[in-house]
Amino acid sequence: MEPTDAFGARLRAALHRHGSLCVGIDPHPQLLAAWGLTDDVAGLAAFADICVEAFAGRVALVKPQVAFFEAYGAAGLAVLERTVAALRAADTLVLADAKRGDIGSTMAAYARAWLGDGPLVADAVTLSPYLGFDALAPALQVARARGRGVFVLAATSNPEAIAVQQAVVGAGCTVAQSIVDAAAARNADTATLGSIGVVVGATVSDAPDLHALNGPILLPGVGYQGAGPAEVRRLAGDLPGVLPSVSRELLRAGPGVSQLQAAADRIGAAFGFLPT
């Protein structure tokens, strides 16, 4: 059984306090322009600061998209470090959307960077299992030891993924289902909510069975990409730990802090993602 300070336990508490909406920080160049900000590190920092002010202490999980910070080099990563630190200092859980995946010592280095005690450490990180689920072992070990979490890509909504994720392996099981099952096996000793989650696109038509997961389920694609309450219910029903993720649909309400907060409240209410 995992300790009470494990990521799954902390996430479950955050869901009760704030509802289940996951808010992305995605500083697209188009959003920077729409907010009247410059497409440089100064604009990036201003965008991130506004998001921290708007969402810290108000939502269950905040998900910075790492690539948009990496695009500005070392200075952009410094902004990411400050953003993650500010959110965590406000007792807000942070999921680094880095989609890391590799083997051996390289995977161990990724685990140390995002789940250890370094300057980029978050409460959880997204991982790609497509070099083999067991190749993620270094990250899973660090996550368990440090009370962190991971969200493993299982069924993404991009059309290019179908050939791989819907391929049939073993006894008629799809690759996507095998990933969910592997995550479920690692959550089996957890009494409440495990710390090994999966990512399933909210617009996926042929989703894996999630009922045995006993872990968090991140559902990107809400709002801007077309998924609504019906899609969320179809995929996850009343399973615990469901986290519909919204980014651009919400962020386009900015740059005003109050407008962003109102948009988060409105989307949460429309989808029923409210505190319990």
Kindly give the confidence (pLDDT) of every residue in the chain, 276 residues in length, as a single tens digit, with 9 standing for 90 and above. Answer: 455 599 999 999 999 999 989 999 999 999 999 999 999 999 999 999 999 999 999 999 999 999 999 999 999 999 999 999 999 999 999 999 999 999 999 999 999 999 999 999 999 999 999 999 999 999 999 999 999 999 999 999 888 998 999 999 978 899 999 999 999 999 999 988 999 999 999 888 788 999 999 999 999 987 656 666 777 777 777 888 999 999 998 999 999 999 999 999 998 887 766 565
Distance separating the N- and C-terminal Cα atoms of the chain = 25
- Kindly name the residue from 99, 146, 248, 252 that is annotated as catalytic: 99
With both helix axes pointing from N to C terminus, report the angle between 41-55 and 73-89 in degrees, rounded to the nearest 10.
10
Region at 270 (left for phi over 0; alpha for psi -120 to 50; beta for the rest): alpha
**Which two tokens mark 223?**
């709002």
Q: Superfamily for 7-271?
A: Aldolase class I (3.20.20.70)
Tell me which residue of 38, 115, 106, 52 sits closest to 80, measured CA to CA: 52
pLDDT in tens, 116-149: 999 999 999 999 999 999 999 999 999 999 999 9
For the chain, what are the domain ranges?
7-271
Q: What is the pLDDT of residue 98?
A: 98
Q: What is the pLDDT of residue 1?
A: 45
Residues 6+ apart with CB under 8 A from 10: 93, 123, 147
SS3 146: helix
Residue burial 102-125, b: 16+ Cβ < 10 Å; e: rest: beeeebbebbbbbbbeeebbbbbb
Is 63 annotated as catalytic? Answer: no
- In sequence order, the β-bridge partners of residue 93 are 61
